[in-house]
């Protein structure tokens, strides 16, 4: 849709598959559920260095967007890794090791499966060190898997595949945890396939943040890890303020599904309106919603929002989003730059990378357009939550954008 407001252009689609009153049924429960949510909370909260990331109140930007309140969950410092992905990949690594302990020692049930703390303390060290985990990554997920595999955490071998476009600083951040990094000359989805082929050949365990037919258990754990953020936010919000809207970035859909699933399960039809935000040129969730089925797009190059540059949806995420998400929105790279600069200009500057600022960029891009506001029932009384999913994970690029003159808009 060409912009009538002077803001970067958007496309907005009310989810044709939405069924707001549908109960959170067995199929969705199988993907994500409260019981496993409680387990993951207990586990991750016990890790060294755990603390809830801040929930920031941004009144100036709220005013700019014409809403009553704007909450920003800032994941820049999550476990010192720079993004929310720290919650998923590392938990996936732990689940692989726990699964192997169960299989090889015959241990069964919660009592006998070692906790993360016990494995960090040396339980089953030999067994863990003989395991190799692998994944393909645009940066953030791989960093989490590499961290989880490192000797300070669960101590296994790690092989990370990078698509061609991943920058050198992001590669260095992964290698710093001792992972073996394989740079491919392909885009993300092909790097995923290469890691799968090599894993099959060598008996490695794929710890992917995306699911596909016959590969669902680990990505399910990874997504469950993300729900830690939702629990923190619900604890951090003032009792008298519940968000009416949440803008959630979409790559393969895992982050968005984690939020939608948990809120759908715990709040039913009273849950906030969820808007899934993608780059124009990596809009696999938008296209899937429009088509009513998972839809792959090719040629996802050319967005600065590297974490969102995905052409294939995660099947499990799609199960949740197809009926549970309210709307899908695509945005321009300029919108991400604009949001990053506005955040950097706050009285206490907020540092967000390109993908990290995309949720806010979605809100800002549609905020001046009455028709779009109407489509998602956004009005001056709305209280909006956005997730700052990453900090400056690539410092050079961040500095180039923030130092790059006045905001594109606004």
Ligand X SMILES: Cc1ncc(COP(=O)(O)O)c(C=O)c1O
Residue 86 beta carbon to ligand X: minimum distance, rounded to whole angstroms: 11
Per annotation, catalytic residue among 74, 138, 209, 333? 138
Whether 287 is catalytic is no
Give the C-alpha distances (Å, rounded to integers) separating 380 from 141, 370, 377, 389. Answer: 36, 12, 10, 25
Measuring CA to CA, which residue among 10, 8, 1, 19 is closest to residue 325?
19
Phi, psi (rounded to 5 degrees) for 173: -65, -30
Residue 13: alpha-carbon gap to chain centroid: 21
User: What three-state secondary structure class fits 167?
Assistant: coil
Q: What angle do CA 45, 212, 160 make, to 5 degrees?
A: 60
Residue 120 beta carbon to ligand X: minimum distance, rounded to whole angstroms: 25
Strands 205-206 and 132-136: parallel
Which lies closer to ligand X via its Cβ, residue 155 or residue 251? 251
- What are the tokens at 307? 């974490």
Residue 313 beta carbon to ligand X: minimum distance, rounded to whole angstroms: 9
Q: What angle do CA 114, 227, 24 make, to 5 degrees?
A: 110
Q: Are 391 and 351 in contact (CB under 8 A)?
A: yes
Region of residue 391 (left: phi > 0; alpha: psi -120 to 50; beta: else):
beta
Which lies closer to ligand X via its Cβ, residue 128 or residue 360? 360
Strands 55-57 and 69-74: antiparallel
Per annotation, catalytic residue among 73, 74, 77, 85? 85
Instruction: List contacts with ligand X (CB under 6 A).
Output: 83, 85, 138, 140-141, 209, 249-256, 307-308, 310, 355-356, 389-390
Residue 138 beta carbon to ligand X: minimum distance, rounded to whole angstroms: 6
Residue 141 beta carbon to ligand X: minimum distance, rounded to whole angstroms: 5
Beta bridge partner(s), residue 276: 248, 328
Which lies closer to ligand X via its Cβ, residue 229 or residue 366? 229
Which lies closer to ligand X via its Cβ, residue 73 or residue 373? 73
Residue 254 beta carbon to ligand X: minimum distance, rounded to whole angstroms: 3
Measuring CA to CA, which residue among 326, 327, 321 is closest to residue 28?
321
User: What three-state secondary structure class fits 80?
Assistant: helix
Q: Are 402 and 87 in contact (CB under 8 A)?
A: no
Whether 56 is catalytic is no
In our burial notation (b when 16+ CB lie closer than 10 A, e otherwise), range 48-73 reads: eeeeebbbbebeebbebbebbbbbbb
Which lies closer to ligand X via its Cβ, residue 7 or residue 83? 83
Which lies closer to ligand X via its Cβ, residue 127 or residue 317? 317
Cite the active site residues. Answer: 85, 138
């Amino acid at each position: 849709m060409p912009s009538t407001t002077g803001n970067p252009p958007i496309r907005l689609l009310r989810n044709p598959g939405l069924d707001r009153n549908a109960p959170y049924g067995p199929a969705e429960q199988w993907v994500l559920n409260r019981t496993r949510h409680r387990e993951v909370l207990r586990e991750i909260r016990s890790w060294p260095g755990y603390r809830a990331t801040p929930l920031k109140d941004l009144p100036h930007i709220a005013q700019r967007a014409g809403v009553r309140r704007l909450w920003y969950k800032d994941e820049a410092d999550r476990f010192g890794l720079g993004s929310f992905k720290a919650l998923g990949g590392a938990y996936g690594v732990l689940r692989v090791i726990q699964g192997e302990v169960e299989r090889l020692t015959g241990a069964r049930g919660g009592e006998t499966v070692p906790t993360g703390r016990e494995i960090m303390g040396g339980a089953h060290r030999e067994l863990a060190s003989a395991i190799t985990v692998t994944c393909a990554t645009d940066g953030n997920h791989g960093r989490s898997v590499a961290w989880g595999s490192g000797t300070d955490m669960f101590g296994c071998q790690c092989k990370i595949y990078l698509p061609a476009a991943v920058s050198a600083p992001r590669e260095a951040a992964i290698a710093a945890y001792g992972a073996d990094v394989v740079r491919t000359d392909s885009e993300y989805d092909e790097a995923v396939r290469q890691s799968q082929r090599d894993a099959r050949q060598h008996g490695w365990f794929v710890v992917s943040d995306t699911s596909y037919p016959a590969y669902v258990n680990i990505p399910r754990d990874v997504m469950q890890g993300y729900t830690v953020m939702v629990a923190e936010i619900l604890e951090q919000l003032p009792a008298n303020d519940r968000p009416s809207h949440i803008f959630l970035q979409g790559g393969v859909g895992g982050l968005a599904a984690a939020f939608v699933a948990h809120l759908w399960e715990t709040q039913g039809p009273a849950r906030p309106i969820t808007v899934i935000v993608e780059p124009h040129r990596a809009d696999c969730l938008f296209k899937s919603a429009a088509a009513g089925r998972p839809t792959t797009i090719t040629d996802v190059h050319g967005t600065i929002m590297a974490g969102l540059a995905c052409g294939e949806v995660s099947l499990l995420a799609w199960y949740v989003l197809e009926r549970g998400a309210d709307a899908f929105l695509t945005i321009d790279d300029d919108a991400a730059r604009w949001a990053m600069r506005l955040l950097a200009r706050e009285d206490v500057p907020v540092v967000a990378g390109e993908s990290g600022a995309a949720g806010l960029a979605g809100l800002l891009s549609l905020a001046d357009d009455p028709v779009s506001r109407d489509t998602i029932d956004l009005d001056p009384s709305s209280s909006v939550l956005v997730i700052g999913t990453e900090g400056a994970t690539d410092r050079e690029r961040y500095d180039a954008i923030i130092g790059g003159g006045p905001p594109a808009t606004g």
